[in-house]
Structure 1
């Protein structure tokens, strides 16, 4: 008889988890269907090949081979460390983001990959809605089917906002440092890699201290991803001062 309360509690907890799972499943199904509809409407209005071609034909489009290797490594390390291996969606990052959002009871983390960011910026608004997130995911998966990883990276760096009115790596390199992207120093390249996270806040021209702090975060991510060593990171910081 003494075990009965524990048994009842266990059953209650199991039923509670089952109910929560069902609710979450229904929510994801409903918003997933809405998101798929948004995705189909978006890529019907502007097919992915058309979107890609319009970006690649822009003046001052910078190709992958023209980008400093350290800039590529910096962007991947800080924005999407599993970029080379995922299908356009990083389910590990999404799982972490969902958990953090649930804990905060708000949209505090997105978990978007580089591919998803392209999808969002080219097709959808910045509204934090669940159906838009699903639409972004569907679009990212299709984009990965159409483009190589290098092409996707090109699309990202040629369209992302760097602050001070600079869209794309060419304008950012010219505007902030008066250089072609291929001429950037390691310090400059890594600083630019950190700006898109919050371009207005991290602008080197208006907030140099914040830009420097952000750059140190990028360097730490690069060390974590084994893109550079700690010693190399320290040299880059020293050389840039």
Structure 2
């Protein structure tokens, strides 16, 4: 008797969970469609290009681009817009802590969020983000997506994009950044309010970026890891 009751409870919980996932999925898709109705990917890209300080990827040091990939999304060049491994790890950690602190977002997903969505942490937005990420990957090259990321990321102190942030925070144009400066700037968008105001915290984050670059073979003079 008790065994049957437990099975029924578990079945009921599974049905509720499935229904909740379906509702979130539908709402997320609707959010995605609404976002594209307001502006297309092409329009969003043109809008970003008009931003003061917009810097093309060809004007940026390769060491900065490598630092961004190392700390934000080391499988960036091989995934289709989402990273299943990161998503599963983030989902487990979020369930364990009963929070949405770890999102598992790729660089492409972050571009989707920056260009089309809010920064609010909710499941519906995450679903919309995934759909938009697929569209971005189908529309833009990896290099173009990386360019959109570094120009749409917020760095704190009122600076959006590396073209605004590097001169204000470092006193140099992005193309003149050293390895240490590139690593520092790559780490700031993770928590801009903290890292733009606390030099010690920013330098600690920079050191993490440098370690990630070494780990994934992206440090200058080190062969890329397979």
TM-score strictly above 0.5: yes
Report what 2:172 is aligned to: 179
Secondary structure of 1:143 counterpart = helix
Aligned counterparts of 1:67 and 1:95: Cα–Cα separation in 2:
32
Aligned counterparts of 2:92 and 2:217: Cα–Cα separation in 1:
27
Report what 1:54 is aligned to: 47
Aligned counterparts of 2:137 and 2:90: Cα–Cα separation in 1:
22
| Superposed CA RMSD | 2.3
Secondary structure of 2:155 counterpart = coil
How far is the alpha carbon of 1:23 from its aligned partner? Answer: 3.8
Aligned counterparts of 2:17 and 2:210: Cα–Cα separation in 1:
38
Aligned counterparts of 1:156 and 1:14: Cα–Cα separation in 2:
47
Specify which structure has the bigger relative contact order, considering alpha-carbon pairs within 8 angstroms and separated by 6 or more residues: 2
Report what 1:123 is aligned to: 116
Q: Greater CA radius of gyration, 1 or 2?
A: 1
Report what 1:70 is aligned to: 63
What's the CA shift string for 1:3-22, capped at 9, x where partnerless?
xxxxx97x988877666554
Alignment partner of 2:35 out of 35, 42, 61: 42
Alignment partner of 2:191 out of 191, 198, 204: 198
Report what 1:218 is aligned to: 209
Query: Per the alignment, do residues 222 and 17 of structure 1 end up closer, same or farther by CA in structure 2, a change over 3 Å counting?
Result: farther
Query: Per the alignment, do residues 71 and 101 of structure 1 end up closer, same or farther by CA in structure 2, a change over 3 Å counting?
Result: same
Aligned counterparts of 1:36 and 1:179: Cα–Cα separation in 2:
42
Aligned counterparts of 1:171 and 1:59: Cα–Cα separation in 2:
7
* Residues 31-180 of structure 1: pairs in structure 2 closer than 5 A: 31-180=24-173
* Residues 3-18 of structure 1: pairs in structure 2 closer than 5 A: none
Query: Which ranges of structure 2 fall in alignment gaps of 5 or more residues?
Result: none
Aligned counterparts of 2:217 and 2:18: Cα–Cα separation in 1:
38
How far is the alpha carbon of 1:158 from its aligned partner? Answer: 0.8
Aligned counterparts of 1:65 and 1:174: Cα–Cα separation in 2:
18
Query: Per the alignment, do residues 49 and 20 of structure 1 end up closer, same or farther by CA in structure 2, a change over 3 Å counting?
Result: same
Aligned counterparts of 1:21 and 1:100: Cα–Cα separation in 2:
20
